[in-house]
Amino acid sequence: MTLMLDMYIDGTRVPSRSGERFDVVNPATGQVYASVPKGGVEDVDLAVAAARRALEGEWRRVAAPDRAAMLGRLARLLESRIDEFAAAETAHNGKTLFDADFDMHGTVACFDYYAGAATKYLGSTIPGPADYLLYTRREPVGVCGLIVPWNFPLAIAAWKIAPALAAGCTVIVKPASETPVTALMLADLVEEAGFPAGVFNVVSGPGSVAGNHLVVHPGVDKISVTGETTTGQTIMRTAADTLKRITLELGGKSPNLVFADADITQAVDGSLFLIYANSGQVCDARSRIFVQDAAYDEFVARFVEQAKKIHVGDPTDPDNHYGAITSSRQLEKIEYYVEIGQKEGATLACGGARVGEGPGLFYAPTAFTGVDNSMRIAREEIFGPVACIGRFSDYDDGITKANDTPFGLAATVWTADLTTGHRAAHDIRAGGVWINTSEFLFNESPFGGMKASGFGRELSMHGMDAYTELKTVGVSLGAHMPTFPLD
Ligand code: NDP
C-alpha cells in the first residue's frame, strides 16, 4: 500500500496548493513506496510567511533552555520510533537497514548535541577601554531554507534543523525529491515535542521550483544546502540578489593515501568501507586511492580480493553490506563513468556491472587500478561504489596528487609514522583529514569543505555559527565620549 504524506506548514498537514503529488519509488524493489505533495511557489510563500510570523512572534520569546528542552524531547521521540524511521529511510533511499539504523541513532545524537548546545553557545565580553562595557551577542539569523540531498535524507536534514532551532531560527526544510519521506514524518515528532506552529515547516517539491523559490525569496534570510557542486554554484548566484547568508556542503573526490609503511590489512579494510559504505553514495567517499609504489601490488591484490566478498542486494537482508543505488538516474551515471574509465585505459579489476536481474538498482563493488589522476574518473564525482586506485612515489608526490583536484572535502592517510600523518594533515587542502581510521564523522567535530566542496561548517559548536549573526554592543560606563569640539 502506498504511504500518503502531506507537507507541514504553520503547524498543519497540507497538500500542495496545486493539488499535484509525485511518487516516491523504492529503489530496491522498483515499487511505488509513497506519494507526497509536489510543492511549488505558492506553498513556499505560505511556509515562509508562517516561519516569519513565528520568528517575530511567539518563538522569539522562547528562551534557550526551553528550546533545549524541546530539542531533547524531539531526540527522545525519534529514539522511541527508530525502527519505523529506519525502515522508511531504507524504503526511499535503498540503504541497508543496518546503515539506516546507524544513521537514525546518529540523528538522535545530533538532536541531543544541539539540545545541549542551545544553552552553551555564548557571546563574549571584550577587554576594551576603561569605563566601557563591550560584549557580543549571538542572535538567530532568521528564517532558514534547508535544502537536503538524498544520500543521508534525515541525518543531513538534522545537521541543519538541530543547530538552526537551537539558535532560535525558524526553518523550511526542502527534502530531495527522491527521499522526502522521513523529513515529512519528522513533522509529527516536532509538533509532539512542543515547537510552536510555523517554527518548523517541510515543503516537498522540485529543487528547480520549490528549492529555487526559497533561494530567491526575500523573506528567507539564510540558505543551507547540501548537494552537487553545480547546484551550489546556481544557488550562490541566485542568492546574491537578496544577499542571503549561505552554507554550501557540496561534492567531493576525496583522496585516500596509503603509505608503504602502513598496516596494509588495516588500510585495505578501512579503504573498502570508505568507498563502498552506503553504496559509495557519500560526499566524502574516499574515491581516489593512492598507494605508495612499494605497497601497491600487495594493496591492490588484497583490496580486489576483499571487494569481491562484499554482498550487495536487498537492503532488508542483514547479510548484505550495501543496498540499492537510490535512483536509476544515479545508476546510469555510475555506468557512464565505468565506461569512460575503460576507454581512458584504466584496468577494471572487479565489478563494473549491475547485480541481479530484477527491478532493484544494485551495482557491484567496482575498482579501477592503474588510474592516472588526470583521468575523468579521477577528477569528476561518480557518487557510487567505484574505487579509483593509482600510485605515488614519495611523500611530495602523494601530497601533490591528493591536492590535484578541484574538490577539498576530506582525506585519509594510512601510515605507521605519525609524523608523516600529521605532516599530511597540514599539507592536504581539505575540510578534514583522518589518520589510520575509517571512522570520521562525529556530531562533536565540524564537517565541511574547501575549494569546490563548498564553505561553512556543519556539526559541532561551529555548526551554530551558520545560524547566528554576531552583534557587538558597547556601553559607556562613564568613559570619555568622542565628539566634535563645538562651542
Ligand atoms: P542535488 O544538488 O541534485 O540536490 C540537492 C538538493 O538541492 C535537493 O533537495 C534538490 O532538489 C535541491 N536543488 C536542486 N536544484 C536546486 C536549485 N536550483 N535551487 C534550490 N535547490 C535545488 O544533489 P543530490 O541530491 O543529487 O545529492 C548528491 C550530491 O550531494 C553529491 O554531489 C554529494 O557529493 C553532495 N553531498 C555533499 C555533502 C557534503 O556535506 N559536502 C553531503 C552529502 C551529499 P531535488 O531533489 O528536488 O532536485
Same structural domain, 226 and 121: yes
What is the spatial distance between Cα 78 and Cα 372, in angstroms, rounded to a whole number?
46
Quickly state the pLDDT bin for 439 (edges 50, 70, 90): confident
280 Cβ closer than 6 Å to some ligand 1 atom: no
Q: What is the pLDDT of residues 258-277, one digit of tens each?
A: 999 999 999 999 999 999 99
Instruction: Please count the structural domains in the chain.
Output: 2
User: Could you give the strand order of the β-sheet that contains 12-14, starting from the edge strand earlier in sequence?
Assistant: 12-14, 7-9, 200-202, 170-174, 143-147, 222-226, 245-249, 454-455
How many CB atoms within 10 Å of residue 465?
A: 19
In this structure, are residues 365 and 306 in contact, taking their beta carbons and an 8 Å threshold?
no
Domain range spanning residue 293? 255-435
- Sign of the CA dihedral running 71, 72, 77, 81: positive
Q: Residue 146 domain-assigned?
A: yes
Same structural domain, 460 and 346: no
Q: Residue 444 domain-assigned?
A: no
Question: Among the three residues 389, 405, 435, which one is the final residue of a domain in this structure?
Answer: 435
pTM beyond cutoff 0.85: yes
Same structural domain, 114 and 185: yes
Choosing from 216, 231, 242 the residue with most ligand 1 atoms within 8 A of its CB, the one to mutate for a pocket test is: 231
Q: What is the pLDDT of residues 320-362, one digit of tens each?
A: 999 999 999 999 999 999 999 999 999 999 999 999 999 999 9
Same structural domain, 217 and 328: no
Same structural domain, 90 and 206: yes
Same structural domain, 17 and 105: yes
Annotated catalytic, 469?
no
Of 471, 464, 457, the residue nearest 138 (C-alpha): 471
Same structural domain, 466 and 412: no
151 Cβ closer than 6 Å to some ligand 1 atom: yes
Annotated catalytic, 110?
no
Q: How many CA atoms lie within 13 A of 72 on its CB side?
A: 11
208 Cβ closer than 6 Å to some ligand 1 atom: yes
Quickly state the pLDDT bin for 374 (edges 50, 70, 90): very high
Q: Residue 289 domain-assigned?
A: yes
Mean pLDDT of the chain: 97
For residue 330, what is the domain's CATH number?
3.40.309.10
Same structural domain, 277 and 324: yes
DSSP 460: T
**pLDDT score of 150:** 98
Q: Where are the beta strands (DSSP E) in 332-418?
A: 347-350, 366-369, 386-392, 407-408, 410-414
Of 225, 248, 238, 197, the residue nearest 57 (C-alpha): 197
For residue 250, the ligand 1 atom closest to its alpha carbon is 41
**pLDDT score of 104:** 98
Q: What is the pLDDT of residues 174-184, one digit of tens each?
A: 999 999 999 99
What is the spatial distance between Cα 367 and Cα 351, in angstroms, rounded to a whole number?
7
| Amino acid identity for residue 473 in this structure | V
324 Cβ closer than 6 Å to some ligand 1 atom: no
Same structural domain, 20 and 114: yes
Q: Residue 478 domain-assigned?
A: no
Specify which residues 226 forms β-bridges with: 249
C-alpha distances (whole Å) from 386 to each of 259, 271, 282, 288 are: 21, 12, 11, 9
**pLDDT score of 129:** 87
Same structural domain, 188 and 98: yes
How far is C-alpha 140 from the chain's CA centre?
22
Q: Residue 55 domain-assigned?
A: yes
Averaged over 102-107, what is the pLDDT? Answer: 98
For residue 175, the ligand 1 atom closest to its alpha carbon is 9
Q: Where are the beta strands (DSSP E) in 393-477?
A: 407-408, 410-414, 432-435, 450-451, 454-455, 468-476
Same structural domain, 191 and 262: no
Ligand 1 centroid to Cα of residue 287, in Å, is: 19
Query: Is the pLDDT score of 440 beyond 80?
Result: no
How many CB atoms within 10 Å of residue 219?
A: 18
Quickly state the pLDDT bin for 415 (edges 50, 70, 90): very high
Environment class of 241 (CB within 10 Å of its CB; exposed 0-12, middle 13-18, buried 19+): exposed
Q: Residue 76 domain-assigned?
A: yes
For residue 10, what is the domain's CATH number?
3.40.605.10
Q: Residue 17 domain-assigned?
A: yes
93 Cβ closer than 6 Å to some ligand 1 atom: no
Q: Residue 440 domain-assigned?
A: no
Same structural domain, 207 and 323: no
348 phi, psi to nearest 5 deg: -80, 105
Of 148, 199, 139, the residue nearest 167 (C-alpha): 139
Segment (H or E) for 284: none
